[in-house]
Amino acid sequence: MEQSAVAVRSFSMDHGRVCQAYLGAHTDLVALAWRGRSRTLLACVGPAHTVEVWVYWEGAPDADASGAARSLNSTIVVDSQRLASALDRRSACVLQTTYYEHTGEVTALAWSPAASLIASASEDGTVRVWDARTGVTCLVERQACVVVRTLSWSPDGCFLAIGCDDNSIRVLDMLKPCIAVSYYGHAHGRYGIDALAWSPDGCRIASAGDDASVQIWDARSGRHLLTYDGHREQWALVAAWSPDGRWLASGGDDIHVWNAATGERRQIYSAHEYTQNWIDALAWSPDGRSIATSSTDRVLNIWYVATARTLYSQVHPGYGEPCYGLRANALAWFPDSRVRPVHGARGLQDHAGALSDRDHRPFHVVSCCLAFASCDKTVSLVRLPIEE
pLDDT at 15: 30
Sequence ranges of the domains in the chain: 3-384
CATH architecture, domain defined by 3-384: 7 Propeller (2.130)
- pLDDT tens digits for range 58-79: 654 444 444 333 333 322 222 2
Measure the CA–CA gap between 88 and 275, rounded to whole angstroms.
Answer: 44
Helix (H, G, I), strand (E, B) or coil at 234: coil
Q: Which residues contact 301 (CB under 8 A, 6 or more apart)?
A: 269, 271, 272, 292, 293, 294, 310, 312, 313
Of the candidates 292, 11, 9, the residue with the CA atom closest to the CA atom of residue 1: 11
Quote the CA–CA distance of 320 and 196 in Å, as a whole number.
29
Q: What is the pLDDT of residue 151?
A: 97
How many C-beta atoms lie closer than 10 Å to residue 22's C-beta? 16
Q: What confidence tens digit (pLDDT) does each residue in 320-365 have?
A: 555 555 567 889 987 655 555 544 433 333 322 233 344 444 444 4
Amino acid 18: pLDDT: 45
The region of weakest confidence among 152-156, 159-163, 316-320, 343-347 is 343-347
Q: Which of 27-31, 145-149, 217-221, 244-248 has the lowest average pLDDT?
A: 27-31
